[in-house]
Amino acid sequence: MFNISVLQEPESLEAAVEMLRADPGLRIIAGGTDVLIRVQHGGEGWSQLLSLRNVKELEAISLRADGTIVIGATAPFARIFEDPIIREHLPSLAEAAVSMGGPQIRNVATIGGNICNGAVSGDSASTLFALDALLRLESAEGERIIPIHEFYAGPGKVHLRPGELLTAILVPRSSYQGTGGHYIKFAMRKAMDIATLGVSVICRVKDGAFEDLRIGLGVAAPVPIRCAEAEAYAIGRPVTVECCREIGKLAVKATKARTSWRASKDYREHLVEVLTERAVLESAQRAGGRHAE
Ligand SMILES: Cc1cc2nc3c(=O)[nH]c(=O)nc-3n(C[C@H](O)[C@H](O)[C@H](O)COP(=O)(O)OP(=O)(O)OC[C@H]3O[C@@H](n4cnc5c(N)ncnc54)[C@H](O)[C@@H]3O)c2cc1C
């Protein structure tokens, strides 16, 4: 039984922002795959909802003239996986999209909901960290754009202000042009399982050496993280198995893994080392770099 006392269904972003201003107690529902579980469990404050389902302008995925890719916050994962812009320019995000849930969940679950629920296991988070994505947020106070790295406040918590909603994810051309990328989700099952670890890598290779390397990790700390020391180590070094192995080892230094029922701290650290090495090697190959044995 769903205890919903108010359901607002605005048909434009402007109307949604105004409704949130007039009633800051409204909670946003997009695909509802997280929210409806809270509602069903009688979660406090979850009986008054504002649905984004009819705000069609938030669903679009587009490529701006300056090369920025704009992903509407309510784009569902099935659409992200199939979208030609994403497939051509952000293939590792397409990999992340198809790794989440099962077909039914991917048809309704949105990328905005995946970020705004603050889950460190969210399958889109590590790739958006590696892509240096920006978030466009809007409220009655106006619009602000922040790096995704500044959005996560702790497990299940994000820096959304009262009356504010996420409208889009922006990926500037400089973040993806000429890169290769790869997302690896490690979970107990191949489908319909939350990540034990998510590793996403974006890199550029020039003359056989790393020119740029970005490593995003999910479930390796209380919030998604990047691996600064491992990334810095790579720059200018040749793409070799040995180098990628060292990058994997250094990636562990950035983590604050903990033991949970899914995996022990030691096991998670082992996964970080091994899967980062694999994701870096694969990304480098996709970026056009052949690795020397
Ligand atoms: C069976 C099942 C399997 C799942 N498997 C996976 C999986 O493999 N990987 C994974 O990452 N997740 C998984 N999930 C979790 C969930 O589906 C995702 O996190 C999903 O992306 C949430 O999106 P949604 O549109 O359904 O969000 P909702 O449930 O609508 O909202 C989630 C949260 O975000 C807020 N919110 C939503 N949109 C906005 C916005 N535009 N602006 C501000 N706040 C907003 C809501 O208020 C709420 O707090 C699974 C869930 C289920 C039920």
pLDDT along the chain (293 residues), means of 10: 90 98 95 94 89 98 98 98 98 98 97 97 97 98 98 97 97 98 92 90 97 97 97 97 98 93 92 98 92 53
Q: Cα(270) to centroid of ligand 1, in Å? A: 28
**Atom of ligand 1 at shortest range from CA of 110:** 25
Q: CATH for 180-286?
A: 3.30.390.50
Domain with CATH 3.30.465.10 in the chain: 59-172
Instruction: Answer whether 76 contacts ligand 1 (Cβ < 6 A).
Output: no
User: Residues 119, 122, 128, 134: is their CA dihedral positive or negative?
Assistant: negative
Nearest to 178 by CA among 210, 204, 215, 212: 204
pLDDT of residue 293: 53
Against a cut of 0.75, is the pTM above it?
yes
Cβ contacts of 170 within 8 Å, gap of 6 or more: 68, 69, 70, 71, 133, 134, 135, 136, 145
pLDDT of residue 291: 57
Q: CATH for 59-172?
A: 3.30.465.10
Structure tokens at 190: 């191949």
Ligand 1 binding pocket mutation candidate from 33, 54, 164 (most atoms within 8 A of CB): 33
Domain with CATH 3.30.390.50 in the chain: 180-286
The Cβ of residue 65 has, within 10 Å, a number of other Cβ atoms equal to 5
Mean pLDDT in the chain?
95
pLDDT tens-digit readout, 219-263: 999 999 999 999 999 999 999 999 999 999 999 999 998 898 888
Count Cα atoms within 13 angstroms, Cβ side, for 33.
Answer: 24
pLDDT tens-digit readout, 145-184: 999 999 999 999 999 999 999 999 999 999 999 999 999 9
pLDDT of residue 103: 95
